[in-house]
């Protein structure tokens, strides 16, 4: 009898294990996940948090969705206000709102369907709308403002689909090769114009300096002429005289001036 009782108990335990394996009367929701409960395929209102949860086999099933922050990089093309092609790589960090996991699964599906059906089209549409507000030059010079516009518009749009945006980065913004060459040529022309302006300004300043210098010299000479009286000229001539009389021309040739020393009276010698 004991042997039969042990056999029956073993069979029951085995049956319970088989039921546990095949029918799964419980579910474990891992960290960073939420469980969407379905009853005969119909999504229920409750969302399972992290941990172990009991289920009614066959009646209930659980779909797990990640609510961790996920990164997705999307290449997109748009046109600026001045009709220049803009090529951008958008890096988007996003996550499913935890308490709305059942709604997003019911309306959209799992994470892959969220990316393909919602996020990619939303990024492309928002980028086109924002880039169309700026010229190509403004997209470069006002990049922070452009990013803020993309961030605000995309956050609002994805919130309607129970998706939260954590961060947006415009990893690469570039234009067509023809436009890049035109920008480079414009920059070179502007640099040449600034260099020519600097040279012209330098020449003008040098010319003005020469004019001012000449005016100063002329004014100094005028003042000198006005201040040179006859007495000053005579004094300067006397100071420079070496004591010898110059000769003068007469009818018979050069005659010396009177030699005062030779003409002195004998008594004065």
Write down all domains in the chain, each with its CATH number in brackets. Answer: 2-66 (no CATH), 70-175 (3.30.479.30)
Residue 97 pLDDT class (50, 70, 90 cuts): very high
Task: Please give the Cα distance from 18 to 244 (Å, whole number).
Answer: 147
pLDDT at 1 over 70: no
**Among the ranges 21-25, 86-90, 219-223, which has the highest mean pLDDT value?**
86-90
pLDDT at 132 over 50: yes
CB atoms within 10 A of CB 225: 8
Residue 269 pLDDT class (50, 70, 90 cuts): very low
In this prediction, residue 183 carries a pLDDT of 63
In this prediction, residue 93 carries a pLDDT of 96
Report, as an integer, the average pLDDT of 28-35: 94
Residue 57 pLDDT class (50, 70, 90 cuts): confident
CB atoms within 10 A of CB 154: 23
Q: Is 162 exposed, middle or buried (0-12, 13-18, 19+ CB in 10 A)?
A: buried
- 102 contacts 45 by C-beta, under 8 angstroms: yes
Task: Please give the Cα distance from 155 to 152 (Å, whole number).
Answer: 5
Partners of residue 38 on adjacent β-strands: 43, 61
- 24 contacts 55 by C-beta, under 8 angstroms: yes
Tens of pLDDT along 158-181? 999 999 999 999 988 888 777 766
Evaluate the CA torsion angle 189, 195, 196, 197 in order and state its sign. Answer: positive
The pTM is what?
0.60
Task: Please give the Cα distance from 171 to 13 (Å, whole number).
Answer: 59
């Amino acid at each position: 009898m004991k042997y039969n009782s042990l056999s029956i108990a073993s069979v029951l335990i085995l049956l319970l294990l088989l039921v546990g394996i095949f029918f799964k009367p419980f579910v474990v929701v891992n960290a960073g996940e939420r469980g969407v409960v379905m009853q005969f395929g119909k999504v229920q209102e409750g969302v399972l948090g992290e941990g172990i949860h009991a289920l009614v086999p066959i009646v209930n099933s659980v779909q797990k969705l990640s609510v961790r922050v996920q990164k997705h990089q999307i290449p997109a093309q748009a046109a600026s206000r001045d009709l220049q092609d803009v090529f951008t790589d958008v890096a988007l960090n996003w996550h499913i709102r935890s308490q709305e996991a059942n709604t997003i699964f019911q309306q959209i599906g799992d994470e892959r369907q969220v990316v393909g059906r919602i996020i990619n089209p939303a990024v492309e549409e928002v980028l086109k709308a924002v880039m169309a507000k700026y010229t190509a030059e403004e997209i470069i010079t006002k990049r922070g403002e452009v990013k803020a516009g993309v961030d605000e518009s995309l956050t609002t749009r994805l919130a309607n689909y129970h998706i939260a945006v954590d961060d947006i980065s415009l990893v690469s913004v570039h234009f067509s090769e023809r436009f890049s060459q035109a920008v480079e040529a414009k920059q070179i022309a502007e640099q040449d114009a600034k260099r020519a302006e600097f040279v012209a300004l330098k020449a003008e300043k040098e010319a003005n300096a020469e004019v001012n210098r000449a005016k100063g010299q002329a004014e100094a000479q005028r003042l000198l002429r006005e201040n040179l009286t006859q007495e000053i000229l005579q004094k300067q001539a006397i100071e420079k005289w070496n004591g010898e009389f110059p000769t003068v021309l007469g009818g018979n040739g050069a005659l010396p001036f009177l030699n005062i020393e030779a003409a002195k009276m004998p008594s004065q010698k």
